[in-house]
Structures are given as structure tokens and as C-alpha cells.
Amino acid sequence: MIQFFFENLNEIPLPTNTEIWLEQLIISEHKKPGEINYIFCDDEHLLKVNRDFLQHDYYTDVITFDYVKGKTISADIFVSLPRILENASSLSKAFDSELLRVLAHGILHLCGYKDKTEEEISEMRSKEDYYLSIF
């Protein structure tokens, strides 16, 4: 089950069928949807999570806490809406498109994709683009 929560900010409408699309992404990657919680928050909240749990002192758009067991995908995924808005603006992308990219990015990490090397980044972007194209 995929759930969406809003921490320290007003709830926003998500694109229609976001939950179904994310579940289909998981199934397409030969995994099973488990308990997935997206927690939308502001930059300061996500910075605190980054500092407290990862010992990183910088802003980011998404942090994924992986609870995957076998092929069942479960996680808490924290997402900074202000960071997505800023990224969308700087990349000349629509907010909803950038939001969906970040939501997919978190799930793709849980499916085993990494983004540390240039090759991994390229594969991750390709997967994000593919799933965005079928939204």
C-alpha cells in the first residue's frame, strides 16, 4: 500500500493515478508493492533528517529509508516539495513532472538501481524517463 503524508506544509493535490503508476512501476521491475510511505516536507525538515540519520549536512530532494524484504518493496521516502519546485524551475520542467521523477527515483533505488557512478546515473535517468513516458 502506498500512502502520502504531509509534514509541516499544506497538502497539495498529486497527479491523478500517481499511486497506481508507482505500483505498476514496482510490478514492472518484478517486485511486489509493500508498505510505502511518502512523507512530503519542507527543506528544513529534510535537512534535519539528512543530518540526524545520514550525517550529511546538505539539502536534497529525496531520502529513502529502505525496508525491502526479498521482492517486497517497503520504505519511508521523504520528499522536499520546495526543493522539487526549485529544481523544476532551474531545469525548466513542470512541477508535476519533476515531482513524479523524484517519486520514481525513490522507488527505483528500492528496486536496486544506484546513482553513484556516471554509468549508474545514466541508467537511473533512463529508467526515470521511461516510467515518466508511460505515466
Nearest to 39 by CA among 88, 125, 103: 103
Q: Are 79 and 88 in contact (CB under 8 A)?
A: no
What are the binding residues? 105, 109, 115
**How many other CB atoms are found less than 10 A from the CB of residue 19?**
17
User: 81 to each of 6, 34, 36, 119, how far by Cα in Å?
Assistant: 10, 24, 18, 28
What are the binding residues for Zn(2+)? 105, 109, 115
End-to-end CA distance of the chain: 19
